[in-house]
């Protein structure tokens, strides 16, 4: 009896991949009679996240082919795997608990080997049922919780605004295009270029675009006494041009350092780059982006900003 249960559970676990492949092939060439699986959403009232179960629909016309497709899709659906896996684990657990003999002294010698074999079979049953359950969970359509979008506290600039150092640019139009493009192509709502002055030994705001604070003194220059530990890391030897991404901007050290961005900025991406002309007064620069939604910059956005920042380094004169 126990061997039969183990065999059934193992068969269910091993046939999942085969059934899934067969169902996929049939759906690729499915007839109009076959209905694609529908989605049932769990936790629908929670707007920040959801879990969807695939439930196959009955075919409109009952034919041998459509019925077979329905049965296969039903067996390979995520809810079926979760149900069968859970039932298998419960059966294995109940079987194990019902066969425990608390009177160890009453166990005969010839029964010890049989109990050891049963224990191994119970372990195999749990592993097999767990694999079926894990297969169903892995196929769930899970929508993760998204951060809320806020309205940035500031004013929108009409085009890029430069400081006195903009006269050292080789092509200002390209910088204008870069700042506008990075705001249109990424989640960034604010874009700034900061340069490290070799003469003053401090970071200076070179150009800004997008949304900036209402107070002009905050974004036209970094206030005296404001430390820039994140930007200063770009100056260390061996640091290279590795970007710094703050997906959820906290009060320290990030928010206090980016005073030139709106106060309620949710995330910041800093991409350093080298200025190609070694005779330029600026030795290092950084493209700083701020967004109104946390955790929205994707690896593709980061890679694109790195390429763009590298090209910006060639636009300075001596």
Res 188: pLDDT:
95
| Residue-level pLDDT at 65 | 82
pLDDT per residue over 268-288, tens digit each? 999 999 887 766 778 889 999
Helices (H), 151-298: 172-185, 216-219, 229-232, 256-257
H or E segment and range at residue 42: strand 38-42
pLDDT tens digits, 88-112:
888 888 887 776 655 555 566 666 6
Instruction: Please give the pLDDT value at position 189.
Output: 95
Helix (H, G, I), strand (E, B) or coil at 167: helix
Higher pLDDT among residues 156 and 313, named by residue: 156
Cis peptide upstream of residue 253 (ω within 30 degrees of 0): yes
> What is residue 316's three-state secondary structure?
strand
pLDDT tens per residue across span 109-141: 666 677 777 778 888 888 888 888 888 888 776
Q: At what angle do helices 16-28 and 2-14 cross, to 10 degrees?
A: 40
How far the first Cα of the chain sits from its last, in Å, is 87
The tens digit of pLDDT for each residue in 12-32 reads: 554 554 444 444 444 434 444
pTM (two decimals): 0.59
How many Å apart are CA 185 and CA 196, to the nearest integer?
26
**Rounded distance, CA 103 to CA 110, Å?**
15
**Residue 120 and residue 30 in contact, taking contact as beta carbons nearer than 8 Å:** no
Is pLDDT at 245 greater than 80 in this prediction? yes
Q: Which of 196, 284, 197 is nearest to 241 (CA)?
A: 284
173 and 315 Cβ atoms separated by less than 8 Å: no
CA dist 21 and 25 (Å) reads 6
């Amino acid at each position: 009896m126990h061997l039969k249960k183990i065999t059934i559970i193992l068969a269910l676990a091993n046939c999942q991949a085969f059934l899934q492949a067969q169902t996929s092939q049939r759906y690729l060439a499915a007839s109009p009679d076959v209905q694609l699986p529908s989605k049932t959403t769990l936790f629908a009232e929670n707007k920040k996240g959801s879990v969807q179960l695939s439930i196959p629909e009955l075919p409109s016309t009952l034919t041998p082919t459509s019925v077979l497709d329905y049965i296969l899709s039903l067996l390979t659906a995520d809810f079926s795997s979760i149900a069968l896996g859970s039932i298998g684990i419960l059966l294995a657990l109940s079987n194990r608990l019902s066969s425990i003999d608390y009177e160890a002294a009453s166990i005969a010698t010839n029964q010890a080997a049989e109990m050891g074999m049963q224990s191994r079979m119970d372990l195999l049953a749990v592993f097999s049922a767990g694999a079926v359950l894990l297969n169903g969970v892995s196929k769930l359509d899970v929508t993760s919780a998204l951060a809320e979008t806020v309205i940035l506290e500031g004013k929108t600039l009409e085009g890029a605004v430069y400081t006195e150092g903009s006269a050292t640019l080789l092509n200002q139009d390209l910088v204008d295009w870069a700042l506008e493009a990075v705001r249109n192509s990424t989640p960034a709502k604010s874009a700034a270029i900061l340069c490290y002055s070799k003469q003053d030994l401090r970071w200076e705001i070179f150009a800004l675009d997008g949304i900036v604070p209402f107070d002009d003194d905050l974004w036209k220059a970094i206030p005296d006494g404001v430390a820039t530990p994140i930007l200063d890391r770009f100056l260390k030897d061996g640091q290279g041009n590795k970007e710094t991404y703050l997906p959820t901007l906290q009060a320290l050290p990030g928010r206090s350092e980016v005073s030139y961005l709106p106060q309620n900025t949710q995330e910041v991406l800093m991409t350093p780059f080298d200025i190609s002309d070694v005779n330029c007064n600026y030795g290092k620069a950084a493209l700083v982006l701020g967004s109104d939604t946390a955790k929205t910059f994707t690896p593709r956005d980061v890679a694109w900003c790195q390429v763009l920042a590298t090209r910006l380094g060639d636009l300075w004169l001596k």
